């Protein structure tokens, strides 16, 4: 039986993305606690030294902590950048620059996603995908399929999610991007595991693990090409 690997992956990703937030939050709490204990139980001279030192530490921690808090930072970025990106979108539409337009559409979608407006986020990503496909920009297609699939999965539209995960994997192989191929195999493993389809989950997890091993083998000169091995990835029947 497949272990709950996707849960471990989610914990790791959350910690990796929020290292500064976690560290600054811990420093903030520690500084406040030391200050309170020092003032309450210490002597006058102890408090005299602790107040400015802890006050400085609290101020520094707040500078790093507040802009990264999930309920503040996204809205700050949203209000600071929305009009600028909207202007870029209008300019790229006017000059018919589909690549620039697609990139700006992704930026706008990311802003909406950060403030949890996922339906609007999805609409911008789908527009970006349409533009990438219009100019046959395979790299863009490979990248944008992942957030599209993840949003569909969030809304439990699993057939759409599966379609875009597999599409992203196919284009990642096409452009020979090892990192993306690895990511899509891992995401597909998690996707199928959460639905209880353990045979498919295990197959994609095994492929992701194989890519890790192949990368190490390539660095040691034991194989000539990772992508030759990638072509043996599991296929949908």
pTM for this prediction: 0.69
| pLDDT single digits (tens) 145-196 | 999 999 999 999 999 999 999 999 999 999 998 889 999 999 999 999 999 9
User: Is residue 224 over pLDDT 60?
Assistant: no
Instruction: Specify the CATH number for the domain of residue 191.
Output: 1.25.40.10
- Structure-token pair, residue 44: 């006058």
Which has more pLDDT, 20 or 164?
A: 164
C-alpha to C-alpha distance for 79 and 168, rounded to whole angstroms: 31
**Whether 55 and 102 share a structural domain:** no
pLDDT tier at 76, thresholds 50, 70, 90:
confident
* Same domain assignment for residues 137 and 209: yes
Q: Does the structure show a pLDDT above 50 at 237?
A: no
Beta-carbon neighbour count of residue 232 at 10 Å? 9
Residue 27 within a domain: yes
Range name among 25-34, 86-95, 135-144 with the lowest pLDDT average: 25-34
- 102 assigned to some structural domain: yes
Assigned domain for 14 exists? yes
Classify 225 in phi/psi space as left (phi over 0), alpha (psi -120 to 50) or beta: beta
User: Tell me: the pLDDT tens digits for 84-130?
Assistant: 999 999 999 999 999 999 999 999 999 999 888 999 999 999 999 99
| Whether 58 and 151 share a structural domain | no
Residues 36, 88 share a domain: no
CA 72/CA 74 separation, integer angstroms: 6
Q: Is 203 a domain residue?
A: yes
Q: How many domains does the chain have?
A: 2
């Amino acid at each position: 039986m497949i272990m709950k690997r996707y849960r471990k992956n989610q914990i790791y990703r959350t910690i990796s993305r929020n290292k500064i937030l976690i560290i600054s939050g811990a420093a903030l709490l520690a500084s406040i606690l030391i200050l309170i204990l020092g003032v309450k139980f210490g002597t006058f001279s102890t408090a005299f030294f602790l107040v400015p030192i802890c006050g400085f530490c609290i101020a520094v921690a707040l500078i790093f902590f507040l802009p990264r808090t999930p309920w503040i930072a996204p809205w700050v970025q949203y209000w600071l950048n929305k009009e600028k990106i909207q202007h870029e979108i209008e300019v790229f539409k006017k000059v018919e620059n589909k690549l620039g337009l697609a990139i700006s559409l992704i930026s706008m979608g990311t802003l909406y996603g950060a403030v949890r407006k996922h339906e609007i986020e999805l609409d911008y990503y789908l527009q970006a995908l349409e533009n990438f496909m219009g100019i046959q920009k395979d790299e863009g297609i490979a990248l944008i399929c992942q957030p599209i699939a993840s949003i569909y999965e969030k809304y439990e539209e699993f057939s759409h999610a599966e379609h875009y995960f597999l599409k992203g994997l196919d284009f990642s192989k096409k452009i020979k991007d090892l990192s993306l191929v690895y990511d899509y195999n891992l995401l597909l493993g998690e996707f199928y595991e959460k639905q209880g389809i353990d045979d498919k989950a295990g197959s994609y997890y095994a492929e992701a693990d194989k890519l890790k091993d192949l990368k190490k083998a390539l660095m040691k000169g034991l194989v000539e090409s990772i992508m030759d091995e990638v072509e043996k990835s599991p296929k949908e029947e």
